[in-house]
Amino acid sequence: MDLHLEQLRTFAAVVDHGSFEAAARRLHVTPSAVSQRMKALESTIGRVLVERAKPARPTPSGRVVLRLARQVALLATDAFRELGQDSVDPAADPVEFSRIPIVVNGDSLNTWVLPALAAAARERVCVDVYREDQDHSVELLRQGTAMAAVTSDSRPVQGCAVRPLGRMRYWPMASPEFLRTWLPEGPTVEGLSRAPMLVFDRQDDLQERYLRRRARRAWDPPCHYVPSSGDFPEAIRLGIGWGMVPEQQRVRYPAGTLVPIDPEVVVEVPLYWQQWRLDSRLLDVLAECVAAAAAESLDQPGSERPGPRKSGETGG
């Protein structure tokens, strides 16, 4: 197959920006040029690569070619930077061409990942962050949407390498007033059945896993959804409900503001970095920045901290 770099880059832009028109604006060409490039690429491959929907989505065949497009783009950027050029195409946007799409769960993004991205930015690595639950992030790797991910899955996606990052510790927290109102006798089965619960989104099962440790039964407490990592502990502080809070956020609040409803239990979530197996300086720099930030902020394998007994559960 005779695949052209501009065609692969155009295909990635269509997927990333959701339409031919948006890709044309990003690439500084006409929609007609985008359409012609896509027709030529699909003709060469012999498959339909993108669903003409809103937003545009890659077909199963398109996902394979999308992985290739991202790999070629990254390796081309690496090579031309070594040659002292910012881009393989003088008319192209060098930031757009060298951007690395990654998947990060909300809690990590709100607590320890941003310093890693800042360190990578100083090395001229640009990222495109997708927020996804750590138990589901590997799907974006399989699709070719992302090149790397923070995930709780230690099983490598095909074509990916895995390295452990450490463990996030989650505590069941509430405000003092909430405890006096709803759990005056502590985390009893009766109390937890009635006490309002905060959940991040429909994929978040940390609270349910904690409840199952209290009793193997069906739980159906009142439930509030707050899909914002930054606002989640604030909603707990305001007394809306109780919820699982990572240690990195818990320590940001003054003593006594958020208190554990069950001082005997902490839930640990192991995190891993998965990235495509690709000989790329930019991707390696990003991986080292993420690993360094994790080493400073997360519990490392084999380390022990004084505190409550630990749960063997992992969470969303």
Same fold, 1-85 and 168-268: no
Please give the CATH number for the structural domain made up of 168-268.
3.40.190.10
DSSP single-letter state for residue 252: T
pLDDT number for residue 312: 39
Single pTM value for the model: 0.76
How much of the chain exceeds pLDDT 90, in percent?
57
Tell me how long the chain is.
316
Domain ranges of the chain: 1-85, 168-268
Mean per-residue pLDDT of the chain: 87
Q: Which of 136-140, 178-182, 203-207 has the lowest mean pLDDT?
A: 136-140
Q: Are 159 and 275 in contact (CB under 8 A)?
A: no
Query: The domain at 1-85 falls in which architecture?
Result: Orthogonal Bundle (1.10)
Residues 44-98 have pLDDT tens digits of 999 999 998 889 989 989 988 988 888 888 888 878 777 776 554 544 554 444 6
